[in-house]
Amino acid sequence: MNGKSFLVDLTRCTACRGCQVACKQWKKLPAEKTTNWGSYQNPKDLSAKTIRLVRFNEAEVDGKLSWLFFPEQCRHCVEAPCATVPTNPKAILHDPDTGAVVYTELTAKEDGEAIRMACPYDIPRVDPETKVVNKCDMCIDRVKAGKLPACVQACPTGTMNFGDREDMLKLAEERLAEAKKKFPEAMLVDPEETRVIYLASAPPANYYEYLEADASGAVPGTLSRKQLLAKLGAPIRSMRS
């Protein structure tokens, strides 16, 4: 047993946003007032009320158009940088059974922005009123009761998958091999570091700057992970801290 993981197969996502709304339904998170900003994507960004968001991006490569959809959520990092920020260890919990990284209301007493800044994927958001920091908790209540996370259950196409980490890693490799036939650039995003492993059909930066940790813009195949790590000292576009 090595905890739980998600495989998010972006080659299959149709952006039906079932996951985005199912998340709000289960958690009874309120809707935000939004406006159309020239995109299907709304809300425009994550917030304490929207902890799961399908991002839309149009990318044209060699004259071929892709409309890329990225259901964004907390990655439940294997080693969660955010968990190192709070002074109170009960503010951010790391569930030993599942590996879920769970924020509690005690985050309100912490430096929320610092927690956000620590995230390699820019996920946590501070509730402006309560100061509680919020993000996906893996539907840990459902998972502990033997149910799938709400987003995974809602997904029609097999984009969202959830299970034991070994099984998800295995599925990830299988799906990757399949995807490469159609998308030679397909890759798994940060599979070792996170419990939410994205299978991307195109370079992650084509989806969103924070799909990949600290490495957006890197083209797989041109840099090995080792080389990439070696370069981490250099300024990187997506870095904000």
Partner 1 sequence: MKVNRRSFLKLTAATAVSSAFCGLGFAPEAQAADRIAMLEPKWSKQTTSICCYCAVGCGLIVNTDLKTKRAINVEGDPDHPINEGATCAKGASIWQLAENDERPKRPLYRAPYSSEWKEVSWEWALGEIAKRVKKTRDASFTEKNAKGQTVNRTNGLASVGSAAIDNEECWTYQAMLRALGLVYVEHQARICHSSTVAALAESFGRGAMTNHWNDIANSDCILVMGSNAAENHPISFKWVTKAMEKGAKLISVDPRFTRTSSKADLYCQIRAGSDIAVLGGLIKYILDNDLIQKDYVISHTNAAFIVGDKFTFKDGLFSGYQKNPLDADYVGAYDKAQWAFEKDADGVPKRDETLKHPRCVYNLLKKHYERYTVDKVVSVSGIDKDGLLEFYKLYSATGKPDKAGTIMYAMGWTQHTVGVQYIRTMAMVQLLLGNIGVAGGGVNALRGESNVQGSTDHCLLWHILPGYLATPNAGLKTYREYVDAKTKPHLAGAKDPKSAAWWQNYPKYMASFLKAMYPEASADEAYTWLPKTEDGKTYTWLQLFEAMSKKEFTGFFAWGMNPACGGANAGKNRKAMTNLDWMVNVNIFDNETGSFWRGPGMDPKKIKTEVFFLPCAVSIEKEGSITNSGRWMQWRYKGPVPRGESKTDGHILTELFDSIKALYVKEGGAFPEPIKNLSVDKWKAHGEFNAHEVAKLINGYFLKDVTIKDKTYKKGSLVPSFAMLQDDGSTCSGNWLYCNSYTDAGNMAARRDATQTPEQAKIGLFSNWSWCWPVNRRIIYNRASCDNTGRPYAPQKPVVAWNGEKWIGDVPDGGWAPGTKYAFIMLPNGHGHIFGPGRQDGPFPEHYEPMETPFNAHEFSGQLNNPTALRFAHEALAVADPKYPYVAMTYRVTEHWQTGLMTRHTPWLLECMPQMFVEMSEELAKEKGIQNGEKVMVESIRGSVWAVAIVTKRMHPLKVMGKTIYQIGMPWCFGWQMPHDGSGGDSANLLTPSVGDPNTGIPETKVFVANVRKM
Q: Looking at residues 95 to 124 of the shown chain, list those that interact with partner 1 (rule: CB under 8 A).
A: 95-97, 99-100, 102, 104-105, 117-120
* Contact call for residue 129 and partner 1 (CB under 8 A): no
In whole angstroms, how far apart are CA 91 and each of 74, 96, 133, 187? Answer: 16, 15, 9, 34
Total length of the chain: 241
Number of other residues whose CB lies within 10 A of the CB of residue 130? 12
As measured in angstroms, the least distance from the Cβ of 72 to partner 1 is 14
As measured in angstroms, the least distance from the Cβ of 87 to partner 1 is 11
* Contact call for residue 37 and partner 1 (CB under 8 A): yes
As measured in angstroms, the least distance from the Cβ of 146 to partner 1 is 10
In whole angstroms, how far apart are CA 41 and each of 19, 28, 57, 100? Answer: 14, 21, 9, 27
Of 126 and 216, the one with the shorter C-beta distance to partner 1 is 216
Count of residues engaged in binding partner 1, rule: CB under 8 A: 90
Binding mask 202-221 for partner 1 (x = CB under 8 A): -----------xxx------
Q: Which residues from 154-193 bind partner 1, rule CB under 8 A?
A: 154-158, 190, 192-193
Binding mask 53-92 for partner 1 (x = CB under 8 A): -----x-x----xxxxx-------xxxxx-xxx---xx--
189-216: burial string, b at 16+ Cβ within 10 Å, e else: bbbebbbbbbbbbbbbbbbbebbbbbbb
The span from the CA of 215 to the CA of 212, in Å, is 6
**Near partner 1 by CB under 8 A, which window of 124-132, 140-148, 166-174?**
140-148
As measured in angstroms, the least distance from the Cβ of 79 to partner 1 is 5
Whether the CA torsion 221, 223, 225, 226 is positive or negative: it is: positive
